[in-house]
A and B are shown apart, each in its own frame.
Chain A
Amino acid sequence: MYKRAQWQWLAAILLLTMACKKDDNNVTKLNYEDGVSTVIYDLAGDTEASVADGVEGKEKRPFRSFYFKLSAKLQSWDSSDAFKQSSNWDLAFTDIYNALVYVNNGSGEGPGKGGAGKGLIIAVDSAYSKVTTAPEEEAFETENLRFAGWDGYPQPYNTGWYFYSLNTHLAVPIKNRTFIIRTADGKYGKLELINVYQGNPPAVTDLFWPAPYFTFRYFVQQDGSHNLKTP
């Protein structure tokens, strides 16, 4: 009986050892390039700003907003009213961690207020490649979010692209949420805001992981149609 018990133990050990294979380290780097869309990697936001007060050796100030022109892939820090009211930007990365993203719209509240911007933004809970058409004008106007930031914040109906985890105190981007946008000059496009942390990690494991560094991709239909098909 003891002999048999020993063999059973040995078999168990062998099985366990074989089951303990090396992992791929849980890092799967996704490929966002589809040949048509533009992918922006690690676009630095206001990395010098702090939101804290009373931290020794650091001056507290609000995050400086930056503006992004989709067609030119151009980042601008010009915060003059003249610039903000121009059509030289499509997305404004504002507020904490520059993560509150506005479209350039002259009629509503937002950085583009009073300008000529025609920007609109709506959210679709679907994979980027599966979003193929922009809705009709009317639906677009009624669904307009004006901005995309912290999901469900400050109100539950504020659909956003990330949320703060109360468990880890980190920003977690929401997967398979795509934004359909209208640019400042009225062209339709789609936008996926992918990450705010440097290198676009699949999960953040360090409270001090460098941020904000934006990874996002977009496609703007240049012919003015509602067709947003990408491979």
Chain B
Amino acid sequence: MERCPRNVEITDLIFIMRNIAVKEGYMSEQHKKIAENMLAIGSTIPFSDEMKKVRTNMGLPAEPPTTVSDKKGMAEFRKVMEECGFDKLMKGGKK
């Protein structure tokens, strides 16, 4: 995209193609796991109890003020995903 002499937006095209693939049900197990984390805690990666200790030891609150600790925020985050059909899409394509 930065170098294309015809100004083709390569990244944008890849996003579109990947979105089509997902809609058609083509998605790796590893990527499905990331989507599961998003639906459960609003993050791509899990947050462990062990990390709470690491945070406390350096003088940070055990839990950051994000969706992992904020129940209202997580409910909103999940509702937004559901309104977009993300939960159904992640179960196997076709919103």
Mutual binders A and B: no
